[in-house]
Amino acid sequence: MARQLRRGETESALAKRRRARVIDRLLAAAHPDAECELDYADPLQLAVATILSAQCTDVRVNLTTPALFAKYRTAEDYAAANPEEVEAIVRPTGFYRNKTKSIIGLGKALVEHHDGKVPQSMEALVKLPGIGRKTANVILGNAFGLPGIPVDTHMIRLTNRLGLTEGKDPVKLEFQLQELIDEREWTMFSHRIIFHGRRVCIARKPACGACTLAAHCPSFGEGPTDPEEAAKLLRGSNVDELVKLAAAARGDTDEDGTAERREATS
Ligand code: SF4
């Protein structure tokens, strides 16, 4: 097992970059299914779904968008939409009046300035209604395959805990992370971090004792460190695999790959 990183431990820029790469590799093994969880078929649908996802779960957005996407297929359709009809559909996602304004405004701006198409640059995207850097990075990374690191409250919480970033300013954090992670990994790193936050590093009580990143995390100990107690906190479809990976990281794995808790020696 790697030496436990301690909170407040001094770390050179190079050591932090190396640690970030190790963390990304471990996350890739722990969450191979990490991906954008919003349903979409083209850049416009992803832009609309991402606007609707503010303060709302992806699951709820995915329940709402089929009716919306069936009725409004192009930027022209959104530009000409009746606000009350859009509001009635997007209401379950919350903040529906503002979201409707953004979606219709987006349609109008795309028709007026981009021939009805979603542009492929950060500079152009952030000028569109309802689209900030986070949404722009989601669109660039997932709809166009251009690397981006969307920073939201979950990304801030996780990367602060991991000691990869400092502060809460999303733009500053985006640039801090760009320095640490290889550009080709930006989009997938973001998905992996989000999955890790949902399944292991849960906001209120992180499952530290069942976390494959334990040795590389200065916040190890914020949640239970006992493997069995921590394992009960894990969520998602691959809990058994997460337990095995964490045991392997601790050096507790049997030859046949079975995770068994080693008796504490101290
Ligand atoms: S679960 Fe614990 S050890 Fe793992 S990343 Fe979160 S705070 Fe760090």
Q: Which of the residues are catalytic?
A: 134, 152
What count of other Cβ atoms lies within 10 Å of the Cβ of residue 28?
15
In a domain, 127, yes or no: yes
The predicted structure's pLDDT at residue 1 = 53
Pocket flag, ligand 1, residue 208 (CB < 6 Å): yes
In a domain, 110, yes or no: yes
What are the tens digits of pLDDT across the range 172-209? 999 999 999 999 999 999 999 999 999 999 999 999 99
On whether the CB atoms of residues 21 and 182 are closer than 8 A, the answer is yes
The predicted structure's pLDDT at residue 7 = 73
pTM listed for this prediction: 0.89
Pocket flag, ligand 1, residue 217 (CB < 6 Å): yes
The predicted structure's pLDDT at residue 2 = 62
In a domain, 95, yes or no: yes
* The total number of structural domains that make up the chain: 1
Task: Select from 157, 164, 213 the residue to mutate for testing ligand 1; criterion: most ligand atoms less than 8 Å from CB.
Answer: 213
Atom 2 (ligand 1) nearest CA: 208
* Low-confidence residues of the chain: pLDDT under 50: 254-257, 259-266
Please report, for the domain that includes residue 66, its CATH number: 1.10.340.30
Distance, in Å, from the CA atom of 30 to the CA atom of 106, rounded to the nearest integer, reads 37
In a domain, 35, yes or no: no
Torsion of CA 92, 103, 168, 10, to 10 degrees: 100
Q: Which domain holds residue 81?
A: 43-143
210-244 b/e with 16+ CB inside 10 Å = b?
bbbbbbbbbbbeebbeebeebbebbeeebbebbbb
The predicted structure's pLDDT at residue 263 = 37
